Amino acid sequence: MATGTSLEDLTYVGMVGIIDPERPQVEEAIVQLKSGGVIVKMITGDAEKTAKAIAWRFKIYKSNDLSVSGEDLDHMNAADVRDIVSQASVFYRVSQKHKLTIVK
């Protein structure tokens, strides 16, 4: 955070950390889905490192898995999107439009 009337006059006054923790039931839900044969993927607006860290924690992502950004999806045709959706385990920095495309 900073205070001041112009960019040149800004004074650093501190830093704020924000966390949006996962809901407590997420881990159990993922375990149940996987035990039922469901392939779980993560679709989030979070940054790549954040998305991978959370997906790793819940065993959705492994180090050699594919992750795809919303920007990557923007440069793909429909056939490529279908292929990548079947291959990737994490989709990050995606918009609502991307989420709809992935789920379809």
Q: What is the largest CA-CA distance in the chain?
A: 59
pLDDT at site 46: 95
Range of the domain at 71: 2-103
In tens, the pLDDT along 33-58 reads: 999 999 999 999 999 999 999 999 99
The C-alpha atoms of residue 54 and residue 94 are separated, in whole angstroms, by: 16
* The pair of three-digit structure tokens given for residue 68, joined into one six-digit string: 């795809």
Q: CATH code at 40?
A: 3.40.50.1000
pLDDT of residue 2: 66
pTM of the model: 0.79
Low-confidence residues in the chain, pLDDT < 50:
none
Q: Are strands 42-43 and 88-92 parallel, antiparallel or unpaired?
A: parallel
DSSP state of 93: S
Q: 26 is written with which tokens?
A: 């997420």
Count structural domains, the chain.
1
